[in-house]
A = this chain, B = another copy of it.
Amino acid sequence: MTPNRFYIEDASKFDGKVVTVRGWVYQKRSSGKIKFLIMRDGTGIMQGVLFAGESPAEAFDLFEKLTQESSVEVTGIIRAAPRQPGGYEMGIQSLRLVNLAEPYPITPKEHGVEFLMEHRHLWLRSQKQWAAIRVRHEIIRSIHEFFDNRGFIRFDAPILTPSACEGTSTLFGTNYFDEKAFLTQSGQLYGEVGAMAFGKVYVFGPTFRAEKSKTRKHLTEFWMVEPEVAYADLEDNMALGEAFIEHIVQSVLSRRAPELKILERDLTKLEAIRGPFPRISYDEALKVLEKRGLALPWGEDFGAPHETALGEEFGKPVFVHHMPSEIKAFYFKQSDMVGGPAVSGTGKYALGCDLIAPDGYGEIIGGGQREENTDVLKRRIAEHNLSEADYNWYLDLRRFGSVPHSGFGLGVERTVAWMTGVEHVRETIPFPRMMNTLRP
């Protein structure tokens, strides 16, 4: 690619210069002697202007023929246009057709979601979809940046696994030569291997759940980042999660403001996401919920209404820690009391910490401190009806130099939904996979 190639997002660097946009027709309109060609090149949208009497006649003729999404090369002079998105427009000097598009199925009129999802490969060219994926890019970029700058090592967990992290009912299976393999639901257990070998690591990759749910928060294939740190306790874990979320929010705000504007996101809500985040125990959370008319018996997990209420109560992300042990996975370290000493395996509370996003976006971080005692872990594996043989390698992490360690998982798509304000996670990933959606 020519190094000096022009892209619309760099227009401000080319003020007064003649450049060529290589892109597509987004819209066109006429106003008397003036024709407006709204062009997109994938990095942004810019208006090109044709003036009768000034611009070449061939360009006028071609303008009339152009259909939505036709590919064109448009040459002209870049000039400031403060009222235009991006602040610049082009005075068109010449116009070349690359390919005339057939009648484009996605027109400015309203379309049903089913239709748009079937045309996802084209829908992504529409402004809001485009903006959401650009925000997703920034979120993923800032995730890597956060951990890379702190000396974490990226540690890719396997996708094909022999056993299940949390039960087998929601697993996708496959024949792996002569045995059965499952698609990973979480890289955490492998991340713990990494923490013991590299001190601090993060797993980043796709995870899978074969859940028959059709909510706006569920995909069958979704991306997670899962940091894991040796010699780190529950408090360390919440401090890391807080700094992490602040970094993501600030990165999106500083680098993707134009996209957030397209998405009509209320920026004041994102600007309010600053630490310290409130940290409350599960017991305290129950009191808040009761006060808000959502009393919950001790020992039950939160549902969507409870998470929404907790988000409303604090107006920013809130950590809920020390959940009832029985609703948490086998690998959590436990305690007999909130704030008390960790008591391996005999505790009422799990040393977990979930971060609940405001505005009803639900749990975006789930994590906690892991059990480091071999015998306790063996007992917990048995209590959860898991096979000790399957977890023998995991137990080795305790047999050979066990240390306190903690970590968490952040769901990328939920975070994108929260940052962009989109209603449904299907718009947070290029090709969402859901119960009824495997195509395109």
Assembly CA distance A220 to B181 (angstroms): 12
User: In the complex where A174-B174, A197-B42, A197-B125 touch, is A99 in contact with B402 (Cβ < 8 A)?
Assistant: yes
The answer to whether the Cβ of A82 comes within 8 Å of any Cβ in the partner chain is no
> Is there contact, CB below 8 Å, between B43 and A199?
yes
User: In the complex where A102-B400, A401-B69 touch, is A154 in contact with B137 (Cβ < 8 A)?
Assistant: yes
> Is there contact, CB below 8 Å, between B401 and A99?
yes
Bits for A407-440, please: 1 = Cβ < 8 Å to B, else 0. Answer: 0000000000000000000000111010110111
Contact of A157 among B22, B140, B193, B431 (CB under 8 A): B431
User: In the complex where A172-B176, A206-B205 touch, is A198 in contact with B130 (Cβ < 8 A)?
Assistant: yes
Assembly CA distance A328 to B430 (angstroms): 27
Assembly CA distance A175 to B140 (angstroms): 30
Assembly CA distance A3 to B341 (angstroms): 23
Main secondary structure of the interface of A (DSSP, over half): mixed
Please, which residue of chain B has its CB at the minimum distance from the CB of A99?
Answer: B402
User: In the complex where A399-B102, A401-B24, A403-B22 touch, is A430 in contact with B193 (Cβ < 8 A)?
Assistant: yes
> Is there contact, CB below 8 Å, between B153 and A134?
yes
Near B by CB (< 8 A), chain A positions 141-166 give: 141, 144, 148, 151, 153-162
The answer to whether the Cβ of A397 comes within 8 Å of any Cβ in the partner chain is yes
User: In the complex where A98-B403, A174-B174, A397-B121 touch, is A160 in contact with B232 (Cβ < 8 A)?
Assistant: no
A122 contacts across to B, CB distance below 8 A: 396, 400
A136 contacts across to B, CB distance below 8 A: 154, 156
> Is there contact, CB below 8 Å, between B199 and A7?
yes
> Is there contact, CB below 8 Å, between A431 and B190?
yes
Contact of A429 among B156, B210, B229, B429 (CB under 8 A): B156
Please, which residue of chain B has its CB at the minimum distance from the CB of A9?
Answer: B151
The answer to whether the Cβ of A298 comes within 8 Å of any Cβ in the partner chain is no
Contact of A193 among B22, B121, B223 (CB under 8 A): B121
Each complex incorporates copies of this chain amounting to: 2
Shortest CB-to-CB span from A118 to chain B, Å, is 9
A197 contacts across to B, CB distance below 8 A: 42, 124-125, 129-130, 133
Assembly CA distance A295 to B292 (angstroms): 80
The answer to whether the Cβ of A2 comes within 8 Å of any Cβ in the partner chain is yes
Assembly CA distance A396 to B104 (angstroms): 10
Near B by CB (< 8 A), chain A positions 262-316 give: none
Assembly CA distance A130 to B183 (angstroms): 26
User: In the complex where A42-B199, A195-B42, A197-B42 touch, is A99 in contact with B403 (Cβ < 8 A)?
Assistant: yes
A200 contacts across to B, CB distance below 8 A: 1, 42
A239 contacts across to B, CB distance below 8 A: 1
The answer to whether the Cβ of A261 comes within 8 Å of any Cβ in the partner chain is no
> Is there contact, CB below 8 Å, between A159 and B156?
no
Q: Which of A130, A212, A236, A401 has the most chain B CB atoms inside 10 A of its CB?
A: A401
Assembly CA distance A194 to B433 (angstroms): 17
The answer to whether the Cβ of A376 comes within 8 Å of any Cβ in the partner chain is no
Interface residues of A (CB under 8 A from B): 1-2, 7, 9, 22-25, 41-43, 69-71, 98-99, 101-102, 104, 119, 121-122, 124-125, 129-130, 133-134, 136-137, 140-141, 144, 148, 151, 153-162, 172-177, 179, 181, 183, 190, 193-200, 205-206, 208, 210, 212, 220-221, 223, 229-232, 236, 239-240, 372, 393-394, 396-403, 429-431, 433, 435-436, 438-440
- Of all A-B residue pairs in the complex, the 4 with the closest CB atoms, nearest first, are A42-B199, A393-B440, A22-B231, A124-B197
Residue pairs across A and B with Cβ atoms less than 8 A apart, 22 shown, are A1-B236, A22-B231, A98-B401, A98-B403, A99-B398, A121-B396, A124-B193, A124-B198, A130-B197, A136-B156, A137-B155, A141-B154, A156-B431, A158-B221, A158-B433, A159-B208, A159-B221, A172-B175, A176-B220, A179-B438, A190-B430, A193-B440
